[in-house]
Structure 1
Amino acid sequence: MNLLDYLDAILASQTLDADGPELKALRQHRTDVEALLRSKYPSPTIRYGGSKAKGTMVREAYDLDIICYFENYDSSAGETLEDIYNNIRTVLGKSYYVVPKPSALRLQSPTQVDFHIDVVPGRFTDTSKSDAFLYRSSGEKKRLKTNLDVHLAHVRDSGVREALKLVKLWRVRNQLSVTNFVLELIAIDLLSGKKKDDLAGQMTHFFSKLAAQADTVTPKDPANPEGNDLSDALNPLVRGELKRIANRASGYIANENWEALFGPPPVTSDAEGQRAQLRRVASSVTAPTKPWRR
């Protein structure tokens, strides 16, 4: 198996079957959560977000964001963003064990089995129902301005979604402290000029640049580039960790030890192998052969 087929096989092993038990469970929970929320509040906008909507799910770190945004004039769930956050938490607590996060509510079973679901309460900024404010438990302003469609388009049009999946897998396997959202923004920025490179080239470039720029890289939220301060997500400890682990990853790549980075190649069926090969042949039409391709 050559290097690019190996990376394809890793991605294939991390792909969730649309009719598999994981996504079936997510869809059922989404239905249950929406019914629970609407039993108290009939009118909010409830949609998919997160890696499910972005197309960047990986088996080892998949999740579903369920946004619950109220009209800008709707105070039925509270006058303030903090009120909305706390009241939605109370409603969800009737059926779930709720773990509060800075702007979201993680859902678990009463025995604390994780359901891979975050509910994100918020309020639209105006009647256009595009931008929204979220409560934020940290920071001075205690709120974030966001836009779900802008975030989805930023990832969808990045041209590097397969690379983002590998970055996400690397993050979870190394138990990195940086949030997936911030690391995703960093990866899109670092790979902006590498969209036509193959996965091996993109990964080589990403880890090299991350190791070199971990001390200074400053991601910007595309939904509010100047207004959302993400600096608290990249404190000195997080930056030091990123630099150290990215340097280690670059060392593995320099020694052609990709299995130390992503693990041994998974066992795949002949049909899966053929599909990977077809994808590789198709991509090679626009992506020139790289020196690390064996």
Structure 2
Amino acid sequence: MARTVSQGFEVFMSNLVPLASQQTAAASHRSSIEKSLRSALEVSTIWETGSFHHGTGVRGHADVDLLVSLKNKPNSSDTALRWVREALQESFPFTRVRTSRPAIVVEFASGSETVEVIPGFLTSRGDSDVFVYDIPAADSGWMDTAPKAHLNYVNECNNRAGVKGAAKKLSRLAKAWKYYNNVPISSFYLEMRAAQYITTQSSYIAVWDICGLLEDLHSKQLAAMNDPKSFSGRFHPCSSEAKKMEALSKLNTGASRARKALDAYNADDPATAFHYLDLLFGGNFPSR
């Protein structure tokens, strides 16, 4: 039987959720990395952040993100990254360990299971035990982050009456668009923008809201986003201006395809809607 567009999104969303085996592997890698870091460095605590922890990961693309709170902050963020990289290389000599600011990336299982480890240094504590850290910035130097505050923001948006669950669903869709089209844009930026967008909506319909989000991002031209919790600086979409220009080009295409899918949906033309949704998600949307 032919699917409706809503049914297509239900199948698509279920296909995006990471497998239980991936979550088990993630827990195992976190344990081994924590042991490695604690044996080599002065570690205060380790926080799990990112899409796995937030419930917004995409199957096959959900890295485990760990923020390791270290003592004795060096002058250079390059030094902090070197400390973490050398500790992990010593523990995992047959695994690729590389720098990808602000993190050190450990590529387990030939890169199919990756963990990103971000060195952080506590700078302040806000209300409700929210911790603010200095972490390596995209190019050099340091930037602020408050992972607990940002997760709290996403959860608050996700629990709003009338759109309960929508912030995380929309974030997962936005990340699927990113991964399936190789868009060089920050997953964290997409997650925060998706949560912010949902605060302007009174209901959630996937085909409407992925179009609305992409068009909103396009109208803003991927402008940096102010921290809605005011604990850290602005959130930037890309690590360089060249990547931002590439992302904007792909965003223009994505927003156009999402609009054509929505127009077809509103015209009761599901075949055309499915066609453009499949283009939007790089050939990964379920067939009708």
Same fold (TM over 0.5): yes
Q: What is residue 99 of structure 2 aligned with on the other side? A: 100
Q: What is residue 161 of structure 1 aligned with on the other side? A: 168
| 2:13 aligned residue (11, 19, 26) | 11
SS of the residue corresponding to residue 83 of structure 2 reads helix
Matched residues, number: 257
The reply on whether 1:219 has 2:225 as its aligned counterpart is yes
C-alpha distance in 2 between matches for 1:210 and 1:81: 31
SS of the residue corresponding to residue 116 of structure 2 reads strand
| 1:208 aligned residue (215, 218, 222) | 215
Q: In terms of mean alpha carbon deviation, does 6-15 or 234-243 score higher?
A: 234-243
Deviation at 1:24, TM superposition (A): 1.1
Q: What is residue 270 of structure 2 aligned with on the other side? A: none
* Cα distance, 1:148–1:195 mapped onto 2, change above 3 Å: farther
Q: What is residue 241 of structure 1 aligned with on the other side? A: 250
Q: TM-score, normalised by structure 1?
A: 0.77
* Cα distance, 1:97–1:224 mapped onto 2, change above 3 Å: farther
Deviation at 1:217, TM superposition (A): 3.7
Deviation at 1:130, TM superposition (A): 0.7
After superposition, give the CA deviation of every residue in 1:188-210 in whole Å (9 maximum; x if it has no partner).
33332125223233223223333
Superposition CA RMSD, Å: 2.7
Q: In terms of mean alpha carbon deviation, does 2-11 or 258-267 score higher?
A: 258-267
Deviation at 1:214, TM superposition (A): 4.4
| 1:230 aligned residue (223, 229, 236) | 236
SS of the residue corresponding to residue 99 of structure 1 reads strand
* Cα distance, 1:246–1:214 mapped onto 2, change above 3 Å: farther
C-alpha distance in 1 between matches for 2:176 and 2:260: 18
1:53–1:152 CA contact under 8 A, matched in 2: no
* Cα distance, 1:219–1:113 mapped onto 2, change above 3 Å: same
SS of the residue corresponding to residue 194 of structure 1 reads coil
Counterpart code for 2:211:
T
Q: TM-score, normalised by structure 2?
A: 0.78
Query: 1:17-96 alignment to 2 at 5 Å?
Result: 17=19, 20-41=20-41, 43-70=43-70, 74-75=71-72, 78=74, 80-94=76-90, 95=92, 96=95
C-alpha distance in 1 between matches for 2:10 and 2:134: 38
Query: 1:119-268 alignment to 2 at 5 Å?
Result: 119-126=117-124, 130-138=131-139, 142-159=141-158, 160-211=167-218, 213-215=219-221, 217-222=223-228, 224=230, 227-228=233-234, 230=236, 233=239, 235-256=244-265, 257-258=273-274, 259-260=277-278, 261-262=280-281, 263-265=284-286
SS of the residue corresponding to residue 131 of structure 1 reads strand
1:158–1:188 CA contact under 8 A, matched in 2: yes
After superposition, give the CA deviation of every residue in 1:91-115 in whole Å (9 maximum; x if it has no partner).
0112142121121111114x84342
SS of the residue corresponding to residue 118 of structure 1 reads strand
Identify unmatched segments of 5+ residues in structure 2.
159-166, 266-272
Q: What is residue 274 of structure 1 aligned with on the other side? A: none
Q: What is residue 111 of structure 2 aligned with on the other side? A: 113
**Between the two proteins, what is the percent identity of the paired residues?**
19
SS of the residue corresponding to residue 131 of structure 2 reads coil
